[in-house]
Amino acid sequence: MDIIYDLHSHSTASDGTLTPTQLVQRAHEAGVSVLALTDHDSTEGITEAQQAASMCDLQLVPGAEISVTWTGRTIHIVALGINPHSPSLQQGLKKLVEFRHWRAEEIGRKLELKGIGGAYEAARTLSNGTLISRTHFARFLVEQGRAKDMRAVFRHYLVKGKPGHVHGEWASLDEAVGWIREAGGQAVIAHPARYRLTRTKLRKLIRDFRDAGGAALEVVSGSHSVDEAFTMAAHAKDYELLSSAGSDFHSPEQSWTELGRLPPLPHGCVPVWRDWGFC
Ligand code: AMP
Ligand code: MN
Ligand code: MN
Ligand code: MN
C-alpha cells in the first residue's frame, strides 16, 4: 500500500479546532502515515502530537507555518522536520507571537469603533489564550451573525481596506528560511497559487526563496486546483526545487479538504520526503 503523506495541518496550538491528539487520531483514521503539524508561528502542539503519534502507527513530522512579509505581501513558509528546541527558531517565533498579541488588540479596537464590542476577548477565549489568529476573530464574527460564513467574514471585515484589518510586518523571507535551516528543517513555500501573484512575481518569489536556501514548493495543496498543481510542478522543476503535499486542514467543519485526501504529486516531481527514509 502507498504511504499517504499530509505535510500541512493545524491544531488548537494555532487556528485549528482539534487538539494535537485529536488531529493525529483523525489523520490516522483517514489512513495518513506521515503527518506534519504546521501550526502558524508556533511549535507548542508538537510534544502532544508526538505523544499521540507514538500510540498509533503514524510518523509525526515536527513543523510550523511561518508568516513572512515579502515585497509588502504576506507569504507563508512551511517548515518541515525542524528541531522545535532550536534557539534561533524559538526567538524568531516569539517575536511573531508577540506581534500577534498586539495586532489582536488593535483588531479588537478597530472593530469596537465600528460598533462590534468584545471581539478581542472573544478571540482570546476561542484561541485558549495561546496564539491569536484572524481566524479566531472570524469565528466570533460568524457566531455573531455578522456574515454567513468564514469566507464572507474575511472579505467584509478582515482583509485590507476593511474595518478589522491591521497591517502586519512579519519575518523576512531570509529570516524565516534561516531559522528553519538552523533548526535542521526544510523550508517550503506554502500554497504558492493562493497569493494571486503574476507569473513574473511568483517566479521572483521562488528565486528569492531558493537563493535564501529554500527546499520545496507545496505543489499539491488542499487549496490548489488540479491545474494549479500542474503549474506549480512546472515551476518546481524549472528551479530544481523539491515538491510537497499538504491538506492545510484546520477543522472538520471549516476545511476545504479532509486530512490525507490529496491527489498524487504530478509526474516528474521530486518529493520533499525523498530522503526521509519512510518508504
Ligand atoms: P492570520 O495569520 O492570523 O493573519 O490569519 C490567516 C489565516 O486565516 C489563514 O491561515 C487561514 O486559516 C485563514 N483565512 C485567511 N483567509 C481566509 C478566507 N478567505 N476564508 C477562511 N479562512 C481564511
Ligand atoms: Mn490558518
Ligand atoms: Mn497558509
Ligand atoms: Mn496553513
| pLDDT 10s digits, 100-116 | 999 999 999 999 999 99
CATH number, domain with residue 76: 3.20.20.140
166 within domain boundaries? no
Question: Whose CA is closest to atom 11 on ligand 1?
Answer: 135
Q: DSSP per residue over 139-160, as a string?
A: HHHHHTTSSSSHHHHIIIIIST
Q: Provide the whole-model pTM.
A: 0.98
58 within domain boundaries? yes
Candidate from 73, 105, 133, 221 with most ligand 1 atoms within 8 A of CB, to mutate:
133
- For the Cβ of 127 lying below 6 angstroms from any atom of ligand 1, the answer is no
- Domains contained in the chain, number: 1
- pLDDT confidence of residue 195: 98
Distance CA 241, CA 256 (A): 26
167 within domain boundaries? no
18 close to 253: Cβ distance less than 8 angstroms = no
In the predicted model, what is the mean pLDDT of residues 180-204? 98
**Number of neighbouring beta carbons within 10 Å of residue 28:** 19
Question: Whose CA is closest to atom 18 on ligand 1?
Answer: 151
44 within domain boundaries? yes
195 within domain boundaries? yes
Range of the domain at 77: 5-87+184-257
Express each pLDDT in 131-173 by its tens digit. 999 999 999 999 999 999 999 999 999 999 999 999 989 999 9
- pLDDT confidence of residue 201: 98
- pLDDT confidence of residue 255: 63
- For the Cβ of 181 lying below 6 angstroms from any atom of ligand 1, the answer is no
Express each pLDDT in 48-97 by its tens digit. 999 999 999 899 999 999 999 999 999 999 999 999 999 999 999 999 99
pLDDT-above-70 percentage for the chain: 99
- For the Cβ of 249 lying below 6 angstroms from any atom of ligand 1, the answer is no
147 within domain boundaries? no
Distance CA 9, CA 261 (A): 12
Express each pLDDT in 212-271 by its tens digit. 999 999 999 999 999 999 999 999 999 999 999 999 999 998 767 899 999 999 999 999
CA atoms within 13 A on the CB side of 61: 29
Helix axes 173-182, 87-113, angle to 10 degrees: 140
